[in-house]
Structure 1
Amino acid sequence: MIDRKDSQSVVIVSQHYPPDKSGNASRIHDTAKHLVTEGWDVTVLAPPPAFPHGQFDRSWSRKMTRENDGVTVHNLWAWQPTEEDPGFVSRMAYYLLFPLHALIWLLLNHRGVDAIITSSPPIFTGITGLPFGLFSSTSWLVDVRDLWIDASVGLGFIEEGGLAERISRRYESWVLSTADRITVTTSVLGDKLAEQYGLDRDIIVHLPNGVDTDEFEPTGSVSEPTIVYTGNVGHAQDLESCIRAMSRIDHPDAKLKIVGDGDIKGDLEKLVQEEGLNESVEFTGLVERQEVPKILDEAIIGIAPLKSDESLEYAVPTKAYEYMSYELPVVTTGIGEIETLVEQSGGGYHVANDPDAIASAFETLLADDEKRAEFGTNSRQHMIERYDRGVVAKKLSATLQEVGAA
């Protein structure tokens, strides 16, 4: 049971936390660490590490507890898919069993907890906070990073207008209307939630993903002509167009380095073979989180290629912030917030989801040292001023204090 201390206590419920290798795992870690600095007693509930799927051994321990940067982390047992691309039943078991276990833990240990933050997606983490939002004075914040239902429909995982979508939307509406505050990573995301579910805009707070600008700081070393992608190799990313672009550039030493793993990595590896790009495209697989800064330091261009889909117009991948903090000029695709970030920062090129357009951006940046330096300087300054995770955590702490006082 959590003992009440002079500091206030917050429990963060997240499907991913290091050593999971995802953008949100690192984001939740940094958020928790900075909240400790702001004077909060922070506990994180997460399942055993299992993402990307197929990269971790399955654990059967009911609970594993550790201290990490002043944060108490409880890994609560849940089903852990071991296949690279799990089936529907395995995914749902992973998504549902963890929040149910987290709810049981909170019901048994809720004394002394001043606030709960549930991070979505997956949307099922809201199960953990619902009873407290309905029947308790404990503050509940729902952290929304993604229009998960819209993306699932847009990518063909669930049928538009079908039973699964209707049930999911009713559940999400219930969760969001019950929470004390809803934090969103982009303004477009907040607008869409308010419009779709008729929410009071006063309870929606914009807290961007951000980046630890001290950790992601360039060293000024000489870099190879490497174009880098770091993160989930999944269905929402248009890495296929980026790979095809490599066959269209006239720069024999240039290499596209894809760092990470995910559902479509095997398909992309086949494409590289078919296109004869083995010398131009490298798959590193998963790497330790602490290796990512070094990889970025050795590159000269970062790519954040989202598919051009309305269901993704709110999205800005964490990797984009990390590239920009490292003074890498960025090449992005997609629609909506990702384009706005590039325009406001002056940190790169936003182009169409077309191999020729992507190749043209690559060619320009590979050939122009001054343009890369200009974009890189603009990018880092923009991150320091608006997106540093310490700055974002201060705003989150203030929001928690405000809700608690109310």
Structure 2
Amino acid sequence: MLADNRVIMQPKICFVTTGDIRVNATAKRALGMARPLDGLGWKVAVVLEDTAENRHRAALECGDATELVFFRQHSATDEIRTKSAIVARLHPDVLYISAPVVRNMVAAPRGCRRVVEHSELASHNADVHGLMWLKVMAMELWSIVQADALVCASRYLMDIFGRRAHRMLCRTPRLYLPYAYNTAVCHPMVIDRTTVADGRYAGRWICCYMGSLTDNYGALTMTDAIDRLRSSHPEVLLILMGRGDAEDEVRRRIRERGMERHIMLTGYVSEEEIDFYFSLADAFISPMHDTPQDWARCPSKLYMYLPYDRPIVTCRVGEPLATLGDKGVYYQSGDDDDMAHQIGKLIDSGATRLGIDASRHTWQARAEVFDRWIRKETGLCE
């Protein structure tokens, strides 16, 4: 049980993260919720690996009141030891573990409550086998036993960990809390396409994707869909933002099929550049696969698209379906022909707006839900 009838005037929370945010997205919630939680009366600390991108993102998203503690990259054992020493010094009331991985097996000080977040289901990843599968499954089960509460980033994870906890005779409280977007980063702007970039975007119908360029995340499906679509809709332009192991294959297909006019790769895009590209968009694409892995994950970029109020092309899978409902533009998972068909219909329809209240999906809104849950529903910090 979380409740211990303590009265805490200004509760302290410490987020423990691992890795560089460019390749490990689990620090996004810590950075996104830090400033809102501070405004809700919390004293917030975030523990991060000392990388240039982590420092940059923390400076961009966190307020002056947030205590940022950086550690150097170590072996797993040394990282656990270093983090445990930091947490012992900070002695928070709530220790928030950003992901159930070995490097986050941090000792909690006496009286500190441990919250563990699940944002994916590694044990259901088709690429995880043998000893690695045993390791990730052990960590997932460990979180149920060791945590005082769980935060799940998708409804699928809520169901999975609810059933697992029941089988393990654990009554660990759970909170459904998807990702969100930061209003300090995402604020739409008006762009005159005839004047920017020498007019290269004028007269184009632009769809944007931001994320990993991997086959699992739909990079090849998008490439092939645009190849199918460009003859009937020569104005289409797909902007792919990000890097990944399918990038070379995407470039090869573009080159061999002569699609340079229809697909643009930007590489990594900084937070400061997001507004420009997203404000150019006529639509966004959020590819998903009908697999346990994609039902479980919460695609963080989906929420960053919302404030730009443009149609989103995705699949009836997981969090995109839960978030967009009947407002989404859906194609059959993995089917580049159907993706092309749905994008073509969208272009022909002239639809320009998504029509979803983006304010419900800010980090401020998520922090308020978390704050109420911790303070009232679980009994902590009452």
TM-score (norm. length: structure 1): 0.78
Q: 1:65 to 1:210 in 2, by over 3 A?
A: closer
Match of 1:124 in 2: 102
| Equivalences for residues 11-30 of structure 1 within 5 A | 11-15=14-18, 20=22, 23-30=25-32
Amino acid at match of 2:135: I
Gaps of 5+ in 2: 1-7, 194-203
Distance in 2 of aligned mates of 1:176 and 1:97? 25
- 2:200 alignment partner in structure 1: none
What whole-Å deviation, never above 9, does each CA across 1:290-318 have from its counterpart, x for those lacking one? 21122111111101112332222122311
Superposed counterparts of 1:191-270, under 5 Å? 191-197=159-165, 198=167, 200=170, 203-212=173-182, 215-221=185-191, 224-234=204-214, 236-249=216-229, 250-270=232-252
Match in the other structure for 1:325: 307
8 Å contact from structure 1 (residues 118, 125) kept in 2? no
Q: Of 120, 123, 128, which aligns to 1:149?
A: 123
Per-residue deviation at 1:326?
Answer: 1.2
8 A contact 2:218–2:288 mirrored in 1: yes
Aligned to 1:305, the other structure's residue is in SS state: coil
SS at match of 2:217: coil
The residue identity in structure 1 corresponding to 2:32 is D
Match of 1:77 in 2: 72
2:11 maps to 8
In the other structure, the counterpart of 1:275 is 257
Secondary structure class of the residue paired with 2:114: strand
Preserved CA contact (<8 Å) 1:342 1:350 = no
Q: In 2, Cα distance between the equivalents of 1:232 and 1:270?
A: 17
* Cα 1:27/1:276, change in 2 over 3 Å: farther
Aligned to 2:141: 173
Asked if structure 1 preserves the Cα contact closer than 8 Å seen for 2:220 and 2:246, the reply is no
CA drift at 1:357: 0.4
> What residue is the counterpart of 1:301 in the other structure?
283
Read off the aligned partner of 1:11 and give its amino acid letter. C
Of residues 295-304 and 207-216 in structure 1, the stretch that sits farther from structure 2 once superposed is: 207-216
Q: Letter of the aligned partner of 1:7 in structure 2?
A: Q
Structure 1 SS opposite 2:179: coil
Query: Partner of 1:342 in structure 2?
Result: 324
Root-mean-square deviation (CA), in Å?
Answer: 3.0
The reply to whether residue 392 of structure 1 matches residue 338 of structure 2 is no
CA 1:241–1:38: 2 relative to 1, 3 Å: same
Task: Give the number of aligned pairs.
Answer: 356
Cα distance in 1 between the residues matched to 2:27 and 2:214: 16
Q: Which amino acid aligns with 2:102?
A: F
Partner of 1:59: none
The separation in 1 between residues aligned to 2:223 and 2:175, in whole angstroms, is: 37
- What CA deviation, in whole Å up to 9, does each residue of 1:296-345 have, x standing for no partner? 1111110111233222212231111121221011011373333333325x
Q: 1:222 to 1:23 in 2, by over 3 A?
A: farther
Q: Which one scores higher on RCO, CA 8 angstroms, separation ≥ 6? A: 2
Q: Shift of the alpha carbon at 1:403?
A: 4.8
TM-score norm. by structure 2 comes to: 0.83
Aligned CA distance change for structure 1 residues 125 and 175 (closer, same or farther; 3 Å) = farther
SS of 1:39's equivalent in the other structure is coil
Structure 2 SS opposite 1:279: coil
